[in-house]
């Protein structure tokens, strides 16, 4: 790959090489798109979640309160807003909210949507084809020994830096599937330990995500009874994430939050491989329309989606190709190459991306904890970290006085206390500098 030619054509590549935070405004945003999926696919995914709700109430009692529906709250953050406005150059004038996917049941992250959804879709297919299940059945029957034994004939494999493996591993293993999660060196030890406590086979690599997912793919291909969940190109994952928009629409209505031309909504989403934020963004644009705007947040050391979209090469280029080391404290974002479907589907739907320094992200972990008593893993706080530069780049084009801002908290409620204490210690050290 001729990197010099890329830099000449796309100066932003040089900025990425220099590890400088920057905001990229997507020049194709809002143009007409020819997508292979639509709103009907989002409703299909939502219907499947509802069919499985009785199963979750039985298999995961923590979901009884929500009648088996996996959902997270939308939380107003008045104290965090005040704290950020003390350090920001650009004031947050409208509302600031947290879409708290860190509180999602079962695996405490955004991956409880897409990862679990793809497991459910495969389980339903097997149960219908081989177990006599029909769509009108009460899916609580899937918790029976009959179906557990049926699912045990099959394996499920996935490559992950952490949260996707956690969601897939916990649910697939509970259903009865022989489950293997191939994890990169970036994955936190507590996530590996948690998976093993559920009986999941964790395969560790002293290498990056690309290597882990490649090995997972090879392993699954060698066994005709193993189903591979592909974080680099799965539309089932994508659509599972998209359902969040339907749920968010209801929450916005219940809290009296308008989304129209005079009240734009900005949603800040951390991006690793890009699958989960892309799925959510697709849903937002289909459900909430043209006045909902998504911005992806990525570490300066591993801006895979930004690099792919800036150059138009999407998954055909890796951050390692331009000499970036790919190291970050945000393990959920430690993916050097974007998903095959992220750039393709976000070409006209994503407002832009912004990159940030790890040190600033760690400060925001502390700020949120101290102001709102909410603990997030580092990657989940990334949305806060890109807000100031996003406001600076967008204030001339949008009525910011009445805008609302949602930071998507992608994980953190399952983080062990000692790990959370360590994150807070690191963040406080950065704030003291």
* Domains, the chain, ordered by start: 3-37+65-107+238-432 (3.40.50.1100), 110-231 (3.40.50.1100)
Q: 366, 427 in Cβ contact below 8 A?
A: yes
d(CA 329, CA 331): 6
Q: What is the DSSP string of 167-207?
A: HHHHHHHHHT-EEEEEE-TTS-HHHHHHHHHTT-EEEE-SS
| 344 Cα distance to chain centroid | 17
The SS3 assignment for 58 reads helix
pLDDT at 162: 84
d(CA 238, CA 250): 21
pLDDT at 382: 97
Please choose, from the candidates 303, 418, 280, the residue with its C-alpha nearest in 3D space to the C-alpha of residue 358: 303
- The beta-strand segments (E) located in 242-401 are 265-270, 292-299, 352-356
Please choose, from the candidates 318, 317, 305, 382, the residue with its C-alpha nearest in 3D space to the C-alpha of residue 345: 305
User: Mean pLDDT per segment of 10 residues, for the chain of length 433 residues?
Assistant: 94 97 97 91 98 98 96 98 97 97 94 94 98 98 98 95 91 97 89 94 90 92 95 93 98 98 98 94 97 98 97 96 94 90 94 98 98 97 98 96 97 94 97 95
pLDDT at 34: 84
pLDDT at 364: 98
Phi (first) and psi of residue 346, to 5 degrees = -90, -5
* Token pair of 69 as six digits: 């529906």
């Amino acid at each position: 790959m001729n990197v010099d030619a890329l830099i000449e054509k796309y100066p932003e590549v040089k900025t990425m090489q220099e590890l400088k935070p920057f905001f990229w405004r997507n020049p194709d945003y809002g143009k007409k798109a020819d997508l292979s999926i639509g709103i009907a696919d989002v409703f299909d995914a939502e219907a499947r979640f509802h069919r499985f709700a009785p199963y979750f109430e039985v298999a995961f009692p923590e979901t009884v309160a929500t009648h088996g529906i996996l959902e997270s709250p939308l939380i107003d953050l008045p104290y965090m807003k005040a704290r950020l406005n003390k350090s920001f150059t650009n004031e947050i004038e409208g509302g600031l909210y947290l879409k708290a996917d860190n509180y999602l049941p079962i695996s405490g992250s955004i991956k409880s949507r897409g990862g679990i959804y793809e497991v459910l879709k495969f389980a339903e297919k097997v149960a219908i084809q081989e177990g006599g299940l029909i769509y009108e059945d009460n899916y609580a029957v899937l918790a029976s020994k009959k179906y557990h034994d049926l699912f045990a004939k099959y394996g499920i494999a996935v490559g992950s830096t952490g949260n996707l493996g956690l969601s897939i591993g916990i649910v697939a293993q509970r259903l009865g599937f022989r489950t293997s999660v191939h994890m990169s060196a970036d994955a936190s030890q507590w996530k590996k330990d948690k998976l093993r406590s559920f009986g999941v086979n964790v395969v560790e690599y002293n290498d990056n995500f690309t290597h882990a997912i490649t090995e997972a793919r090879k392993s699954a291909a060698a066994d005709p009874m193993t189903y591979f969940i592909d974080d680099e190109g799965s539309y089932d994952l994508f659509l599972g994430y998209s359902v969040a928009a339907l749920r968010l629409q209801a929450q916005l209505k219940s809290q009296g939050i308008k989304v129209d031309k005079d009240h734009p909504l900005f949603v800040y989403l951390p991006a690793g491989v890009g699958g989960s934020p892309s799925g959510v963004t697709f849903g937002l644009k289909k459900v909430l329309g043209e006045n909902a705007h998504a911005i992806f947040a990525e570490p300066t050391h591993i801006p895979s989606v930004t690099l792919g979209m800036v150059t138009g090469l999407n998954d055909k280029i890796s951050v390692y190709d331009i000499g970036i080391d790919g190291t970050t404290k945000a393990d959920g974002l430690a993916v050097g190459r974007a998903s095959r479907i992220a750039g393709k589907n976000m070409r006209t739907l994503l407002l832009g991306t912004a990159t940030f320094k790890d040190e600033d992200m760690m400060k925001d972990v502390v700020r949120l904890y101290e102001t709102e008593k909410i603990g997030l893993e580092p990657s989940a706080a990334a949305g806060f970290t890109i807000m100031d530069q996003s406001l600076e780049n967008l204030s001339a084009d949008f009525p910011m006085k009445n805008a609302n801002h949602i930071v998507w908290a992608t994980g953190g409620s399952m983080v062990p206390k000692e790990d959370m204490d360590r994150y807070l210690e690191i963040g406080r050290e950065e704030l003291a500098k």
